[in-house]
Structure 1
Amino acid sequence: MHHRILKAILYGGLIAGTLDIALVSAINLFDPLVILRSVASGVLGKPAAFAGGLPASALGMLLQWLMSLLIAAIYVFASMRLTILTRFWIPCGLVYGLVTFFVMNYIVVPFSAAASSKPFVISAHISDIVLMLLYGLIIAFFANRFVSITTTRNEHVLNL
């Protein structure tokens, strides 16, 4: 059981986090190392992160993966209690992606060293929102793939 939960978190978090960086890079036509420095700027501040070269990019990748693993773990553990999250994983994953977008942009980033005070303008965030919808779907897919089987087995055992 624990093995399947760990797989859901690792696959969901690492794949969603890695694809997020790759797609942001492709959409914005920036080197992925620059995108990773932007992530690192949350800890280092913008000037230090963008002057930090490869070590700052490596820190950005580590931070991206850690955040993605945490975000995946929250969904996976919630899905063990709320089976609707795995039964209806597509709409729930989309909603989770939107929630993740707003939490990251309006709670996490403002309290980081990369804080900016830009007002919400939907046209400026369309690609980010679409990417977060995909991000949430990936996490929900792996929760469905690995946790729903575990939950079904546990429910069956408990019903005996």
Structure 2
Amino acid sequence: MSPPLALRPHRLLLACVLAGLAAGSLDLLYVFVFHGLRGVSPLRILQYIASGLQGSAAFEGGAASAALGAAAHYFILVVAAGLYLAASRRLPWLVRSAAMAGVAYGLAIHLVMNYVVVPLSAVKVGNPALLSQITNLLMHLFVIGPTLTLVLRRVAWRSPPG
């Protein structure tokens, strides 16, 4: 596979956006189902995400706060895709072994979110149940990370025209 086309930055941006949308949508689907089975609405989940920026006021912000939560969620994953793409330009094995690298990147995202981003945000963190912690980690390892890396490989990297 050749490196990403440096002369076509719009393709690289498209790759990051598509990877972020794919991984973010799968993550939200998981969260909506997992917490929905426990009686939490998608609106409330998205408001919880927005509370990272707005604090407890997010829960009084209705659909506007939910939209902010969705935008923040996708923004974080588009940025994560961009960071991976930038690293992959210097480390070609990240492209060759995208699935395995995706598992490692999923772990990295999980650790950064749980031990850096969330603690620095305005969100009130409770003590999540063990099942929630385990399924969240598994989602990052086997869905979020690999989805990001495999979509990036498919869209941003391609063989030269024949």
Fold equivalence (TM over 0.5) = yes
Amino acid at match of 2:72: L
2:125 is paired with a residue whose SS is coil
Q: Equivalent residue for 2:45? A: 35
Q: State how 1:68-147 maps to structure 2 within 5 Å.
A: 68-116=77-125, 118=127, 123-133=131-141, 134-147=143-156
Query: What stretches of structure 1 move > 4 A for 4+ residues in a row?
Result: 120-124
In the TM superposition, residue 69 of structure 1 has moved relative to its aligned partner by 0.8
Amino acid at match of 1:38: Y
Is the contact made by 1:79 and 1:143 (CA closer than 8 Å) also made in structure 2?
A: no
Amino acid at match of 1:80: R
Q: Return closer, same or farther for 1:56/1:143 CA change in 2, 3 Å cut-off.
A: same
Q: Deviations over 1:61-120 (max 9, x none)?
A: 1111111111111011111111111100111001100110010010000011015375x9
Which of 20, 23, 31 is the aligned partner of 2:30? 23
Report the TM-score, using the length of structure 1 for normalisation.
0.85
Amino acid at match of 2:94: L
In the TM superposition, residue 4 of structure 1 has moved relative to its aligned partner by 2.8
Q: State how 1:46-85 maps to structure 2 within 5 Å.
A: 47-85=56-94
In the TM superposition, residue 123 of structure 1 has moved relative to its aligned partner by 4.6
1:77 is paired with a residue whose SS is helix
2:157 is paired with a residue whose SS is helix
Tell me, in whole angstroms, the C-alpha distance in 2 between the residues paired with 1:148 and 1:98.
23
Amino acid at match of 2:96: R
Tell me, in whole angstroms, the C-alpha distance in 1 between the residues paired with 2:132 and 2:64.
30
Query: Taking every aligned residue pair, what percent have the same amino acid on both sides?
Result: 35
Tell me, in whole angstroms, the C-alpha distance in 1 between the residues paired with 2:49 and 2:126.
17
In the TM superposition, residue 121 of structure 1 has moved relative to its aligned partner by 8.0
RMSD: 1.9
Is the contact made by 1:80 and 1:147 (CA closer than 8 Å) also made in structure 2?
A: no
Note the residue ranges of structure 1 that are not aligned, 5 or more in a row: 154-160
Q: Deviations over 1:31-90 (max 9, x none)?
A: 221111111010111x21112111110110111111111111101111111111110011
Whichever structure has more helix as a proportion of its residues is 1
Amino acid at match of 1:98: L
Report the TM-score, using the length of structure 2 for normalisation.
0.84
Is the contact made by 1:12 and 1:143 (CA closer than 8 Å) also made in structure 2?
A: yes
Is the contact made by 1:95 and 1:136 (CA closer than 8 Å) also made in structure 2?
A: yes
